[in-house]
Chains A and B, each alone.
Chain A
């Protein structure tokens, strides 16, 4: 169980305070699949980073299974079972896919197991094992490997930040279908940040984060039908329709 209590995150930009997260409270029960959505720049990734310990909240408290983890660093939280698949994963010179998966898993993974993790994210060829996770991989390949690194672990809270971004339409359908199956039995609870309707269908609960605040929260059945209206009143690409 993950509890967020009154989380705020402010940054100080040249003497000007900007509120990125504003008093966010939420409890994620075990066995739940939570989707966080909301407009670009709303604070979703920042919230994920605060949970992972990459950013320290200005105020508020984070509890994992009743234990206060607010002051624990990234490594300590990782060891307690928090994982985060980046929206923009970094690339590494000289580090092979196999090594990265082994590091994620916590011990050397046999070739077959590595292949199984990769096949699950649609990278079927054995050739990927010894590829380096460097700039030679395509954007979509890097995102898939990022998903695989989280699937190679057993986590209490697994956070995926727009895992579908950059993944082709074809594989997207497959990913949507297999995502929940992949997480089941592996992760106790899952947070998935996404803008995709299809992915929201997987949710037990949906959280809409906008302007650093929770705008709406509730079960999929409650929130999903209202979603389009949620975005409608913002200034979008098209501007106001007459």
Chain B
């Protein structure tokens, strides 16, 4: 069922090569679920009305990591999947998702993952998502994730997304609604090269008193690639939000950042910081004085920046 390509993709996107000996997981390959395990606290079921799964984490469960990787190894696959994730009240869980595409053909391979999270009162979710593409074919590798997060009172959610290599086109869409005292932390790391395109559309609605959001986005655009960011934070109650976007631009790349911050309440505090610039020259020179050539120095600076 799993071969070398699948194993190596899995390693890239979810740090697992082998099935974890415990914990729930679901592996989807070329548009079909191929392996799955539910546990006492984490139930994974197939949706009946459309492709995808439901994940239910029991209230007050202290579950380990749940892995839900998706791999595409056939050329020309267009896979759309709907995953709904319900985190019960007071539960604590880490979910590792990710999508790896190996395209050795000439047709485009595309995965559109629509994830909806319903995070119960006081629950804590850590969600990690890695995107990765490879393959010697000319077919495009396309990933369009949509994420919706509904956060109940005093819940906490930390989302990390990483896309470092090989995805030709990506459009991410993210929307979050925060209730009273909910806290959302998003870190996004992205690198584009060649002729790649990446777009990120984000809307954070802070609806409850004392809710807070922190968004940190770091990106590197190389060669002739382009990136567009639309972060948007709307404060509808006494709340705090901080959005920070840092981009390094190289070669002939293009980066645009179009932030919007809106306050609909007297006590909403919303801050946005954005910077786009070349690699710092002093950093480059410093590394060169240690004997590294310019391209090695660039690589180390970028690696650190995206860490």
Contact = CB atoms under 8 A, between A and B. Distances in A.
Contact of A95 (B282, B293, B294, B300): B300
A132 B303 CA distance: 13
Contacts of A52: 289
B291 A78 contact: yes
Contacts of B304: 92-95, 132
B288 A75 contact: yes
Given A75-B294, A103-B300, A94 B289 contact: no
A90 B289 contact: no
Interface of A: 52, 54, 73-75, 78-79, 83-84, 86, 88-90, 92-95, 103-104, 106, 132, 149, 153
Given A93-B304, A93-B305, A83 B286 contact: no
Contacts of A104: 290
21 contacts: A52-B289, A54-B285, A54-B289, A74-B288, A75-B293, A75-B294, A78-B290, A83-B289, A86-B282, A90-B283, A90-B286, A94-B304, A94-B305, A94-B307, A95-B300, A95-B304, A103-B290, A103-B300, A104-B290, A132-B304, A149-B290
Given A75-B291, A86-B282, A132-B304, 11 more contacts: A75-B288, A79-B291, A86-B286, A88-B282, A90-B280, A90-B282, A90-B283, A90-B285, A92-B283, A93-B304, A103-B292
A136 to B, nearest CB: 14
Contacts of A90: 280, 282-283, 285-286
A191 to B, nearest CB: 14
A90 B288 CA distance: 13
Contacts, number: 52
Nearest to A78: B291
A75 B289 CA distance: 6
Nearest to B283: A90
Given A93-B305, A94-B304, A95-B304, A106 B283 contact: no
Contacts of A103: 287, 290, 292, 300
A75 B301 CA distance: 16
Nearest to A96: B304
A17 B276 CA distance: 33
B270 interface: no
Contact of B289 (A84, A88, A93, A95): A84
B283 A74 contact: no
A73 B295 CA distance: 14
A57 B282 CA distance: 19
Contacts of A54: 285, 289
A145 to B, nearest CB: 11
Nearest to A149: B290
B281 to A, nearest CB: 9
B63 interface: no
B301 A92 contact: yes
B306 interface: yes
A223 B290 CA distance: 33
B300 A78 contact: no
Contacts of B303: 94
Cβ-closest 5 pairs across A and B: A94-B304, A94-B307, A90-B282, A78-B291, A74-B288
A78 B289 CA distance: 5
Interface string B79-96: 000000000000000000
A93 B292 CA distance: 18
A117 to B, nearest CB: 14
B303 to A, nearest CB: 7
Contact of B286 (A73, A79, A89, A93): A89
